[in-house]
Chain A
Amino acid sequence: MNLAAATNENLANISNVLIYSSMAVYTLAFLAFIAEWVFGSRSKVGRTAAALTARGADASAPAVTVRSGGSTTVLDKPKVVTRSAAGTRDVPDGPGAAGGTEKGDLYGRVAVSLTTLAFLVEAGGVIARALSVQRAPWGNMYEFSITFSTVVVGVFLGILAAGKNVRWAGLPLVTTVLLDLGIATTWLYTDSDQLVPALDSYWLWIHVSTAIFCGAVFYLGAVGTLLYLFRDAYEAKLARGGEPGRFASSVLERLPSAASLDKFAYRVNAAVFPLWTFTIIAGAIWAGDAWGRYWGWDPKEVWSFITWVAYACYLHARATAGWKGRKAAYLALFAFACWLWNYYGVNMVLNGLHSYSGV
């Protein structure tokens, strides 16, 4: 073994250590998020019920003052009042996991800091892996998985940094990241290896990086959709005058309103759909160069297509009157399930040209 190979081996080991360390930090972040939810449960706001009983009275429509541009020093700037869209309940967003409690908020902040730290450590692990194999770190499922969870957390932190309050997604997110990393390190681990010439193309960079990014964003959309379904059921029950269980009210009360969650999911999915379209086309171009055909209905191609059509279906459903809301949400979940299956199932269960060596 020569020197270069030895450094590569070293880097691969460093990468492994970093990935395991990030798992440790994510676990701490997980606990902190739990603490946020636990302390937040002491708040007893019940705004949703209040808003729903005060229905009809315009008082429930939240008056929102929006940034009014320019630097004029008019004392009395016009305030913009918003009303929610037709047919939706006028319900304010929940206060977030911390429930407005100081202690909960503190833990929430700690959790976000820990998540950021874990993200940096994990990103370091991914980069070390890339350096050790001297190529993009997505040549097999293990590498794909660690890159994927890094990007998911990155997108989440990016949205937080952009000033959107999505801390409510923190707990489900970190939970799945831990699961993903657990599966990756236990079952998918492969020693660093080289790509075969067919994978050696700049289209690989383009196609796979956008695929991973799309997956990460679709995942956030799916979390939003799932929570929407719960929250919507909760609101509907309240509106009917029902009384949801204590745990359900405690947790769901603190989430954003169903309308907000639904919008969040839609925006996230819609924003990334053109990129997903591009990903598939880039893949076809690459396949054309590598295998001499642009589209050959290889299982991976089939499932990318299915995922694409399913998301197109979802977007259509949103535009069609009778299909908004829960029905559209089920479609979105179906579409994400297709994506997930394409990522895990197709590689492991169905064999095609795309199956990576060593899983």
Chain B
Amino acid sequence: MSKTETTGETTGEAAEAAEHDERELGEAGAQLSTAPQERAVPGSFGGVMGPGAAGRIAWVWRETTGWTRWFWRQLTSMRVALILLFLLSLGAIPGSLVPQTGVDETKVEEFKAAHETLAPIYDDLGLFDVYSSVWFSAIYILLFVSLIGCIVPRTWQFVGQLRSRPPGAPGRLTRLPAYTTWRTEAEPEQVREAALAMLRQRRFRSHTVGDAVAAEKGYLREAGNLIFHIALIVMLVSFAAGQLFKSEGGKLVVEGGGFANTLTQYDDFKSGSLFDRDHDLAPFSFTLDKFVGTYERTGPQRGTPRTYEAHVTYAKGADGAEKKSVIEVNRPLEVDGSKVYLIGHGYAPVVTVRDGRGKVVFKDAVPLLPMDSNVTSSGAIKVMDGYRDKDGKKDQLGFQAFFVPTFAGAGKGTMLSQYPGLDFPVLALNAFHGSLGVNAGLPQNVYQLDKRKMKAFKDEQGADLKQRLLPGETMKLPGGAGSVTFEKGVREWATFQVSQQPGNMPALVGAIAAIAGLAGSLFIQRRRIWVRAVRGKDGVTVVEMAGLGRSESSKLPEELADLAATLNSQAPTAPDPAEPVEGVRA
């Protein structure tokens, strides 16, 4: 914070005086922050090697400790923090350009298929999982080591500053960024006392040193800055803990259906590496009583969803009391540390399949996958066992299902749904028989029919059998092979995500502390004020006031003016002497 401006030709004494000045100003500005100093780097730490093995060992020791200390200082310097921060921002970029496994696995697969040469290179570089890759982790771990290595000494330094008192006034106050002076008839001691009282009243930490009062204010800036940096560590640690212990699973539930929080019940499940799958899942269960979706009826926004509500009955523990609740998109249900989010919804037409003798071999609500915003849906109905054909032979049935909640009407040329609500539900089916291929032991997509070993039923014209059904209607399979009925009362389904993520609370507290600390650090100015009062040559008291702050302050002169005006009212300006006083400007 010292002035580094040098005046043209300074010679001898003048140069010495200037140097003295610099030093004093430097001391006045010392410890106005706790930012680490950049230190010069020596070339070698070992120095001269002593004779023999002992000398050699001692030299190596000096060399290693020296370099370690040097490395540590480098790492905890502001410059390296700056570089690491910059690297962190650059390193985050690829993760937004290349598909990420953590975000969308299918996209990664697509990318890998499309870029055969590039994909393995990307894989090696960890570009499909940037945020847990070695190099990205290295950047932020180094940054946080640097941060800790920086905070600890700064905190001690700050404690020291809190205990000590502001440094005395530099010799020439005129060199400071804000300066004012006047002459007064009041006694110097009187002026100093008045200044001390005024500064104390304004909550400056102040004391008198020699002929001047030294005062300082704004320690909260440093405190805020330290709190901010510590809060960053708190956030990182709780975030990391959350990642290690979290679990997240998805489940599709049809109206009337239920879910109990055990591993086997999930459609898909992911967890952090320290999550204990057998013991850490909170025991609770819920049933989906009803799903309500409403949509804009008219106007240009027709069909836009207005509300999604999943009405559920849930119970905590194995046999806790049942409670009712409504889960909405932005309002998850919280049970026993887990959160249940409503993620998606669709329709599940209820279908009954009978065999040739009229025996019911399948009756269930079949969830279908939505394909567009009007919930045109498709899926498959699979009758795996229990079905016998007209000759009494075991067979399997499969149906490709296509469903629209609101049909455009026959002959309108489109089978796509016109509206997401259940206004005019129509189910279209294609029927097949043969082997569903589920016995091969391979996992199968429940929404798709593997038709490789299936034969389509044919209608009278010999074309593939397909039919559009209204609720209550039945499609007959040819040759007495049975029938399919689209039952009245289409059900809805909802998908839920159940997540358990410890460490949210500390992260939130850290976040709030970070913002508060940051605000303190950026909005509070740390500044020093000196008031010097001495008797001038003509016996009249000369008052000088000066202020010094961290560079960016615009308020400092204003504050000084305000203080000066207050002090001036107690030590009023004396009438001008015949000739101008020197000292106003050096």
User: Do B299 and A1 touch across chains, with their CB atoms under 8 A apart?
Assistant: yes
Indicate the member of B102, B175, B248, B518 with the most A CB atoms within 10 Å.
B518
* Cβ < 8 Å to B, chain A residues 44-71: 56, 58, 64, 66-70
Bound-state CA distance A319–B304 (Å) is 51
Contacts A66-B557, A66-B558 given; indicate if A316 touches B85 (C-beta within 8 A).
Answer: yes
* Cβ < 8 Å to B, chain A residues 155-205: 191-198, 200-201, 203
Give the total of B residues in contact with A, Cβ under 8 Å: 89
Contacts of A355 in B (CB 8 A): none
Q: Which 6 A-B pairs have the closest CB atoms?
A: A5-B299, A292-B341, A68-B565, A194-B304, A302-B96, A309-B89
User: Do A312 and B178 touch across chains, with their CB atoms under 8 A apart?
Assistant: no
User: Do B89 and A310 touch across chains, with their CB atoms under 8 A apart?
Assistant: yes
Indicate the member of A191, A198, A271, A297 with the most B CB atoms within 10 Å.
A297
Contacts of A322 in B (CB 8 A): 38, 79
User: Do B179 and A86 touch across chains, with their CB atoms under 8 A apart?
Assistant: no
Interface stretch among A20-28, A72-80, A120-128, A236-244?
A72-80
User: Do B568 and A77 touch across chains, with their CB atoms under 8 A apart?
Assistant: yes
16 new A-B pairs (CB below 8 Å) besides A2-B298, A70-B562?
A1-B299, A56-B8, A64-B557, A68-B561, A69-B566, A77-B573, A83-B176, A84-B177, A270-B522, A274-B519, A306-B92, A309-B85, A310-B89, A313-B82, A319-B35, A320-B38
User: Do A56 and B518 touch across chains, with their CB atoms under 8 A apart?
Assistant: no
A356 at the interface (CB under 8 A from B): no
User: Do B561 and A67 touch across chains, with their CB atoms under 8 A apart?
Assistant: yes
User: Do B515 and A302 touch across chains, with their CB atoms under 8 A apart?
Assistant: no
Bound-state CA distance A281–B508 (Å) is 9
Contacts of A90 in B (CB 8 A): 5
Contacts A1-B298, A201-B330, A292-B343 given; indicate if A67 touches B558 (C-beta within 8 A).
Answer: yes
Bound-state CA distance A292–B576 (Å) is 75
- A285, A292, A321: the one contacting B339 at CB < 8 Å is A292
Between A and B, 13 residue pairs with Cβ closer than 8 Å are A58-B586, A66-B557, A74-B573, A80-B178, A80-B179, A84-B177, A191-B300, A200-B329, A278-B515, A292-B248, A297-B96, A313-B86, A331-B86
Please, which residue of chain A has its CB at the minimum distance from the CB of B35? Answer: A319
- B5, B82, B93, B515: the one contacting A317 at CB < 8 Å is B82
User: Do A196 and B304 touch across chains, with their CB atoms under 8 A apart?
Assistant: yes
User: Do A192 and B300 touch across chains, with their CB atoms under 8 A apart?
Assistant: yes
User: Do B307 and A197 touch across chains, with their CB atoms under 8 A apart?
Assistant: yes
A213 at the interface (CB under 8 A from B): no
A290 at the interface (CB under 8 A from B): yes
Contacts of B507 in A (CB 8 A): 294
User: Do A66 and B561 touch across chains, with their CB atoms under 8 A apart?
Assistant: yes
**When each residue 321-360 of chain B gets 1 if its CB lies under 8 Å from chain A and 0 otherwise, what string results?**
0000000111110000001010100000000000000000
Please, which residue of chain B has its CB at the minimum distance from the CB of A9? Answer: B300
A266 at the interface (CB under 8 A from B): yes
- B33, B82, B89, B564: the one contacting A80 at CB < 8 Å is B564
Contacts of A299 in B (CB 8 A): 96
Contacts of A321 in B (CB 8 A): 38
* Cβ < 8 Å to B, chain A residues 201-258: 201, 203
Contacts of B89 in A (CB 8 A): 305-306, 309-310, 313, 338
- B81, B100, B554, B568: the one contacting A74 at CB < 8 Å is B568
Interface of B is mostly: mixed
A343 at the interface (CB under 8 A from B): no
User: Do A273 and B518 touch across chains, with their CB atoms under 8 A apart?
Assistant: yes
B264 at the interface (CB under 8 A from A): no
For the complex formed, measure the closest distance between the CB of B575 and the CB atoms of chain A, giving whole angstroms: 9
For the complex formed, measure the closest distance between the CB of B114 and the CB atoms of chain A, giving whole angstroms: 15
Bound-state CA distance A107–B410 (Å) is 68
Bound-state CA distance A82–B179 (Å) is 6
Contacts A80-B179, A83-B176, A292-B248 given; indicate if A323 touches B82 (C-beta within 8 A).
Answer: yes
* Cβ < 8 Å to B, chain A residues 310-338: 310, 312-313, 315-323, 331, 338
Bound-state CA distance A338–B93 (Å) is 10
For the complex formed, measure the closest distance between the CB of B528 and the CB atoms of chain A, giving whole angstroms: 15
For the complex formed, measure the closest distance between the CB of B131 and the CB atoms of chain A, giving whole angstroms: 5
User: Do B305 and A312 touch across chains, with their CB atoms under 8 A apart?
Assistant: no
For the complex formed, measure the closest distance between the CB of B68 and the CB atoms of chain A, giving whole angstroms: 23
B4 at the interface (CB under 8 A from A): yes
Contacts of B95 in A (CB 8 A): 297, 302
Contacts A81-B178, A197-B330, A290-B330 given; indicate if A312 touches B85 (C-beta within 8 A).
Answer: yes
- B3, B82, B301, B572: the one contacting A193 at CB < 8 Å is B301
Contacts of A286 in B (CB 8 A): 330
Bound-state CA distance A281–B510 (Å) is 11
Contacts of A78 in B (CB 8 A): 180-182, 545, 561, 564-565, 568, 573
Contacts of A320 in B (CB 8 A): 35, 38, 78-79, 82
Contacts of A352 in B (CB 8 A): 103
User: Do A196 and B305 touch across chains, with their CB atoms under 8 A apart?
Assistant: yes
User: Do B522 and A305 touch across chains, with their CB atoms under 8 A apart?
Assistant: no
Bound-state CA distance A321–B518 (Å) is 21
Contacts A78-B573, A80-B564 given; indicate if A274 touches B299 (C-beta within 8 A).
Answer: no
* Cβ < 8 Å to A, chain B residues 542-577: 545, 551-552, 554, 557-558, 560-562, 564-566, 568-569, 572-573, 576
A298 at the interface (CB under 8 A from B): yes
For the complex formed, measure the closest distance between the CB of A89 and the CB atoms of chain B, giving whole angstroms: 9
